[in-house]
């Protein structure tokens, strides 16, 4: 199965026309169907491929070029930016391990043996609240030396990906029968993080190597630009595992735990892993022949609900039979619980 690509251009054109006060009802009815398709895909697959005219393949390339140069620097240099070690949840969560063993063999994820062998850099995107109970969720990043273009490139790509998420969040809200700004109003001043990862394919280039063990994301929605090396597997709602192919110029969006909370489980946090597959090996061979970088960069951005906002089922989702599984909680507290 391949995920369909949703073109955001028609929605953006209408949203823009709406802001100027000239909506055409005929075009809007077609858009409602598009919004239903967005909410259906998020619900059934936990993932969405989108094409946003504001986020070009050139933007993605510029960002990845810079991050490849950064990740190629020595380990001591990268440690100055306080890279953390990430342990996949499936390594420590016994309940999750039990579920994995019960899966059909062909849909089981690979089992990690330890922390993920990847580097990650975190860059905050967008304004933060002047007053918050969750200061370190909103803290300032460290800029590496020798990259004069760093801030501009990070902010430019980060803001563009946030804009794509906001459009999808509005469309999903309409598709779910909620007010258009049901999700986006809660995202204002959220601790959004552009958090690219770097995986060294020269050192870890064997098929079956796990760069990110089976896990879900704790945030609202996660968005990635296209990586130069494939290897992302996702699990659909029905338990089927598929390797994602992101077309050039497209973005991948995945559901996180916060949208699961807000929809009382109508959407569930999408499970995924990043591993070296046969397609990755072919891409490594081609990159070696063309003398290109062998660092796999993922331009991941985690879009969050604001730390001081309340996380609870919205609108009609509050009447869902599953709503009691999702009690009201301050988002910052929820994030701290998940991280612990």
Give 186-235 pLDDT, tens digit per residue: 999 999 999 999 999 999 989 999 988 888 999 999 999 999 999 999 99
Cβ-based neighbours of 140, under 8 Å, separated by 6 or more: 124
**Residue 114 pLDDT > 80:** no
Q: What is the pLDDT of residue 24?
A: 47
Q: What is the pLDDT of residue 25?
A: 41
**88-92, 215-219, 286-290, 305-309 — which is least confidently predicted?**
88-92
Give 273-297 pLDDT, tens digit per residue: 999 999 999 999 999 999 999 999 9
Which of the four pLDDT bands, split at 50, 70 and 90, describes residue 111? confident
| Residue of higher predicted confidence among 23 and 232 | 232
Tokens of 15: 């949203």
Can you tell me the distance from the alpha carbon of 233 to that of 144, in angstroms, rounded to the nearest whole number? 31
Interval 144-155 mean pLDDT: 95
By the 8 A CB rule, do 108 and 208 touch?
no
By the 8 A CB rule, do 297 and 256 touch?
no
Interval 235-254 mean pLDDT: 92
Q: What is the pLDDT of residue 290?
A: 97
Q: What is the pLDDT of residue 26?
A: 45
Q: What is the pLDDT of residue 22?
A: 46
Give 40-58 pLDDT, tens digit per residue: 999 999 999 999 999 999 9
CATH architecture, range 5-129+138-338? Sandwich (2.60)
Tokens of 190: 């959220």
277 sits in the region (left: phi over 0; alpha: psi -120 to 50; else beta) called beta
Can you tell me the distance from the alpha carbon of 41 to that of 4, in angstroms, rounded to the nearest whole number? 9
Q: What is the mean pLDDT of the chain?
A: 89
Q: What is the pTM of this model?
A: 0.90
**Residue 13 pLDDT > 80:** yes
Can you tell me the distance from the alpha carbon of 281 to that of 289, in angstroms, rounded to the nearest whole number? 13
Give 183-200 pLDDT, tens digit per residue: 999 999 999 999 999 999
Q: Where are the domains of the chain?
A: 5-129+138-338
- Does residue 132 sit in helix, strand or coil? coil
Can you tell me the distance from the alpha carbon of 69 to that of 299, in angstroms, rounded to the nearest whole number? 14
**Taking Cα atoms as reference points, which of 281, 261, 267 lies closest to residue 330?**
261
Q: What is the pLDDT of residue 139?
A: 61
Tokens of 314: 């919205």
Which of the four pLDDT bands, split at 50, 70 and 90, describes residue 27? low
Q: What is the 3-state secondary structure (H, E, C) of 213-233?
A: EEECCCCCEEEEECCCCCCEE
């Amino acid at each position: 199965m391949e995920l369909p690509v949703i073109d955001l251009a028609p929605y953006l054109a209408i949203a823009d026309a709406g802001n100027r006060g000239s909506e055409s009802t005929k075009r809007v009815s077609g858009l409602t169907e598009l919004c239903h398709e967005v909410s259906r895909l998020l619900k059934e697959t936990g993932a969405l491929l989108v094409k946003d005219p504001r986020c070009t393949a050139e933007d993605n390339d510029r960002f990845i070029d810079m991050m490849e140069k950064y990740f190629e620097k020595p380990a001591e240099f990268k440690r100055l930016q306080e890279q953390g070690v990430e342990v996949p949840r499936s390594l420590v969560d016994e309940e999750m391990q039990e579920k994995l063993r019960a899966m059909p063999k062909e849909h089981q994820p690979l089992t990690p043996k330890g922390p993920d062998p990847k580097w990650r850099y975190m860059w905050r995107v967008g304004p933060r609240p002047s007053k918050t109970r969750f200061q370190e969720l909103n803290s300032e990043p460290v800029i590496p030396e020798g990259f004069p273009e760093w801030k501009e490139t990070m902010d430019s790509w980060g803001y563009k990906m946030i804009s794509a998420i906001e459009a999808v969040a509005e469309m999903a809200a309409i598709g779910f029968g909620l007010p258009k700004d049901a999700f986006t109003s809660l995202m204002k001043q959220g601790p959004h993080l552009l958090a690219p990862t770097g995986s060294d394919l020269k050192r870890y280039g064997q098929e079956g190597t796990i760069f990110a063990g089976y896990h879900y994301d704790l945030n609202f929605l996660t968005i990635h630009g296209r990586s130069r090396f494939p290897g992302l597997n996702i699990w659909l709602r029905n338990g089927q595992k598929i390797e994602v192919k992101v077309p050039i110029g497209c973005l991948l969006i995945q559901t996180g735990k916060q949208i699961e909370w807000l929809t009382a489980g109508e959407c569930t946090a999408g499970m995924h892993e990043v591993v070296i597959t046969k397609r990755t090996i072919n891409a490594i061979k081609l990159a070696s022949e063309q003398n290109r970088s062998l660092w796999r960069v993922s331009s991941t951005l985690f879009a969050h609900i604001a730390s001081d906002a309340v996380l609870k089922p919205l609108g009609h989702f509050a009447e869902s039979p599953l709503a009691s599984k999702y009690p009201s909680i301050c988002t910052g507290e929820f994030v701290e619980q998940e991280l612990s």
